[in-house]
């Protein structure tokens, strides 16, 4: 029967020290955690805006986005904790309280998601620059997620531009977004 006989054997069994995330990658991941928290806050403000217009579907759609962004923030949080890196939580910036209509709300959403895509791509660059393969692979999920998010928002926005900021068309879009929100809430996607 095999048994460890001394400190040297135990050391061999444990193997070399774990590979830590490089400090610049840790800093960039902490920044992204904050951005995802801001995204969550931003969509909560948009959900409240939908409520203020009496557009229940839009309010629900943004509420699902709010929750989804929290799960993104938590993915970064869990990754940092799992890699034994220091989690640094900072202030979350205040999102706008007023918007210039439903079209404007979705234009701001698309602009925001495009900015997030750029920051995710920036993270991939930082990970690769430091030959941090684990972080690089971790980020692939986010790269794919951003393609999906931009496509969904773009599609909604192009139809909202046709419909405009009022009337029966907007009422129908609100119903459609309510159904999308219900489907996404059950599948966990948005």
Q: Where do contacts with Fe ion occur on this chain (CB under 5 A)?
A: 36, 69, 72, 149
For residues 66-89, b (16+ Cβ closer than 10 Å) or e, as one string?
A: bbbbbebbebbbebbeebebeeee
- Least distance (Å) from Fe ion to the CB of residue 28? 15
> Which lies closer to Fe ion via its Cβ, residue 60 or residue 72?
72
Q: Cβ closer to Fe ion: 95 or 170?
A: 95
- In the complex, what is the shortest distance from the CB of residue 169 to Fe ion, in angstroms, rounded to a whole number? 26
Cβ 77 to Fe ion, closest distance in Å? 13
- The residue among 69 and 132 lying less far from Fe ion, judged by its C-beta, is 69
Residue 132: burial class (beta carbons within 10 Å; 0-12, 13-18, 19+): buried
Nearest residue to Fe ion, using CB? 72
């Amino acid at each position: 029967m095999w048994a460890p006989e001394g400190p040297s054997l135990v050391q061999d069994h444990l193997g070399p020290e774990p590979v830590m995330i490089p400090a610049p990658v840790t800093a960039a991941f902490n920044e992204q955690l904050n951005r995802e928290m801001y995204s969550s806050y931003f969509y909560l403000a948009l959900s409240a805006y939908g409520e203020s217009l009496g557009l229940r579907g839009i309010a629900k759609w943004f509420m699902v986005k709010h929750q989804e962004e929290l799960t993104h923030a938590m993915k970064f949080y869990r990754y940092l904790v799992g890699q034994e890196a220091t989690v640094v939580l900072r202030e979350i910036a205040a999102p706008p309280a007023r918007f210039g209509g439903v079209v404007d709300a979705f234009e701001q959403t698309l602009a925001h998601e495009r900015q997030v895509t750029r920051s995710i791509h920036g993270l991939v660059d930082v990970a690769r620059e430091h030959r941090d393969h684990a972080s690089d692979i971790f980020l692939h999920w986010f790269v794919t997620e951003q393609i999906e998010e931009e496509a969904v928002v773009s599609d909604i926005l192009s139809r909202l531009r046709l419909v405009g900021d009022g009337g029966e068309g907007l009422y129908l879009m609100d119903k459609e977004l309510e159904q999308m929100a219900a489907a996404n809430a059950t599948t966990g996607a948005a």
